[in-house]
Amino acid sequence: MLAHNDHVAVAVSGGKDSLTLLNLLVKLERKFPRSQLTAICVDEGIEGYRDEALLLAAKECERLGVRQLIVSYKELFGTTTDEIVKLSLGKTPCAYCGVLRRKAINKAAIMVGATKIATAHNLDDEVQTVLLNMLHGDPMRIIRSSPVLRDVQGRFLTRIKPLCDILEKEVVLYAYLTGLEFQSIACPHGNEAVRNDIRAFLNQMDQRHPGTKFTLQRTAERLRELLADAAPAVDLNECAKCGDPTPQRYCEACLMLETIIA
Ligand code: SF4
Ligand code: ZN
């Protein structure tokens, strides 16, 4: 995932996963003098929730001596997640917020001159997403949710998920044992019904049949290899609006913003 001279933009939300990732990457970075780290924090504009997380993230960055860049949806896109929710556009808040977050992190990573983007998805997140994509009838998305997503032609920054093989409960344990101060309240808009059902199902399966989550992760890896061979090569154009790489004329975020701002 990492090279000795990488400048890694770490997406830090202030939750247990991202603060754990930040701490682990700082330990690694200290062993490699030519590597760099920058914490990227995104303010989605969620009142009563994001402010606390940003504060905790800032405190941890200061303690670790990590450079931090905060970007907000308001300044980048002219709107906030709270404002989008009020429009009741039909999809779940996360469907909009997730796309904008990816774009915001990407923009911020380019701003700081990073070579890679690291996000703190853990094993539980990963296998939930695999099942979610299957239930949505979109197996090709399993390729795009790979723990290492790189474009050989370099049109987008490589995205890595260093915690992809770590169970969520182990991340929690690490965070508690090392005394990390993280945000524990959940996002008020983050109620993805299908994902919640999948989470409950996988937890029950893993409890009754230990190793289920790891097996599913290995199955997904195998599927990615098979699907990558079968998948036609996708031509990426520059989005006619923002210039980001996209298989369509406009990228997903620009299309979304058009409905939101209209
Ligand atoms: Fe955005 Fe959903 Fe995450 Fe809340 S839970 S910050 S709405 S993606
Ligand atoms: Zn665009």
The confidence score (pLDDT) of residue 152 equals 72
Mean pLDDT of the chain: 93
Which of the given ranges, 30-34, 85-89, 155-159, 235-239, has the highest pLDDT on average?
30-34
- If one residue of 47, 82, 89, 94 were mutated to test the ligand 1 pocket, choosing by the most ligand atoms within 8 A of its CB, it would be 94
Ligand nearest the Cα of residue 15 is: 1
Strand partners, 160: 118, 148
Mean pLDDT for 183-203 is 90
pLDDT of residue 230: 79
13-29: average pLDDT = 96
- Lowest-confidence region among 4-18, 63-77, 126-140, 206-220: 126-140
Class of residue 7 by CB neighbours under 10 A (exposed 0-12, middle 13-18, buried 19+)? middle
pLDDT given at position 36: 96
Q: What ligand is nearest to the CA atom of residue 103?
A: 2
- Amino acid 235: pLDDT: 81
pTM score of the predicted model: 0.93
pLDDT, average across residues 191-205: 91
For the stretch 37-82, pLDDT in tens is 999 999 999 999 999 999 999 999 999 999 999 999 999 999 999 9
**pLDDT for residue 35:** 96
Share of the chain above pLDDT 90, in %: 75
pLDDT at 183 (0 to 100): 92
| Residue 190 pLDDT | 84
Q: Which residues contact 19 (CB under 8 A, 6 or more apart)?
A: 12, 56, 57, 60, 175, 180, 182
Phi, psi of 213 (to 5 degrees): -65, -40
Which protein residues touch ligand 1 with a CB less than 6 Å away? 44, 81, 93-94, 97-98, 187, 189-190
Tens digit of each residue's pLDDT (9 = 90 or more) over 140-179 = 888 878 899 988 777 789 999 999 999 999 999 999 999 9
The partner residues of 219 in beta bridges, in order of sequence, read none
SS (H, E, C) the chain: CCCCCCEEEEECCCCHHHHHHHHHHHHHHCCCCCCEEEEEEEECCCCCCHHHHHHHHHHHHHHHCCEEEEEEHHHHHCCCHHHHHHCCCCCCHHHHHHHHHHHHHHHHHHHHCCCEEECCCCHHHHHHHHHHHHHCCCCCHHHHCCCEECCCCCCCCEEECCCCCCCHHHHHHHHHHCCCCCCCCCCCCCCCHHHHHHHHHHHHHHHHCCCHHHHHHHHHHHHHHHHHHHCCCCCCEECCCCCCEECCCCCHHHHHHHHHHC
Closest atom of ligand 1 relative to the 97 alpha carbon: 1
For residue 41, the one-letter residue type is C
What amino acid is encoded at 144 in this protein? R
Confidence of residue 6 (pLDDT cuts 50, 70, 90): very high
> Residue 106 Cα, ligand 2 centroid: separation in angstroms?
12
pLDDT over threshold 80, residue 191: no
Whose C-alpha lies nearest to ligand 1, atom 5?
190
Burial 141-171 (b: 16+ CB within 10 A, else e): ebbebbbeeeeeeeebbbbbbbbbebebeeb
- Residue 119 CA to residue 108 CA, distance in Å, equals 13
Q: Which residue type sits at 82? A: D
217 versus 153: the higher-pLDDT residue is 217
DSSP strand pairing (148-149 vs 36-43): unpaired
Note the pLDDT of residue 154: 76
**pLDDT tens digits for range 126-147:** 999 999 999 988 888 888 788 9
